[in-house]
Amino acid sequence: MSAPPNARHLLIPFAGRGSPACREALAGLRLPRLEALLARLTLVHEDTQDDSTLSPPHERALAEALGIAAADGCIPWAALEARRSGLPAAGHAAWGVATLCHWQVGIDDVMLGDPSAIEIDRAESDALLAAARPFFEEDGIALHASATPGRWLAQGPIFDGLATASIDRAVGFPISQWSPLSDAGRPLRRLQNEMQMLLYTERVNDARTARGVPPINSFWLSGTGSLPAAFTPAAEAPAVADALRTPALRDDGAGWASAWQALDAGPVAELLAAGSRGDAVMLTLCGDRGAQRFALRPRGFAGWARGLFSRPSAASFLERL
């Protein structure tokens, strides 16, 4: 189901989280505006899968809202960003997002650290891009800087049909669990090994170590694929409220609950006010396994009365995600 014309649509990633601390925090979460809003809305669409999908629910929900149909792990976020940035070949080529990151080497495996914690600036990102570019070009991959330091747009045939895991799936987990294992991903794995050796010798990392921040020792590839030739983005994109992402990925239960309360007092309260004025509003809540989309729908007197006098707790909605 698509959004009605001029609907205000709020999409909240990590609204539900199954990690231990966040799950414990959910029991005590009090979100009065969200509960009041859900009492007015009707569930109109649900996408539930297990938590092994390469594309998490919030990415699937956003892609659907934008009119992008893609297989799991092949939502072409990089191609979309390249088009919006006006990069060459953006309209038809295959792209991927290469995100610089810190791989945490443990006794039994290597874990992917959260790239948002590496504190990279534009000068560092550009210096590493210049050093990395020849290695990528040997595999027919062109690298471009993006608006975000430490996040590059990569263009090459290897990304056509290559399924990759969202970085939101992989953070905090062993690299081996989420790396592409198909033969098509073999050049990528070799390139990651080459980059590890290159980055180990880079002066940028010497300076980072001196100031006490994690060294950048690899990259993660995601958002691979190409846009359909006739793709036209939806006129009204949802507003994405991503304040829950960092505490969710770090399993910071207190931080996740605090971020939820801020969302409840801010964007959720604004959507509630818009719905109370009679505006067309939609809300999409996303967790580890599923996404649920709610909208204003005529429910008749009985449905209106139930919504008025029976208000389910926010936890009862969020724990299903």
Q: Which domains does the chain have, with CATH numbers?
A: 8-67+235-318 (no CATH), 77-225 (3.30.70)
Question: pLDDT below 50 — which residues of the chain?
Answer: 1-5, 300-302, 304
The CB density around residue 293, as the number of other CB atoms within 10 Å, is 24
Give the tens place of pLDDT for each residue, 144-175: 999 999 999 999 999 999 999 999 999 999 98
- Half-sphere exposure (CA, 13 Å, Cβ side) for 29? 34
What integer pLDDT is reported at residue 249 of this predicted model? 95
What integer pLDDT is reported at residue 7 of this predicted model? 66
Which DSSP state fits 212? T
Instruction: For 102, list phi and psi in degrees, rounded to 5.
Output: -110, 120
What integer pLDDT is reported at residue 137 of this predicted model? 94
Instruction: For 26, list phi and psi in degrees, rounded to 5.
Output: -60, -35
CA nearest neighbour of 235 among 61, 70, 72, 9: 9
| Count of positions (residues) in the chain | 321
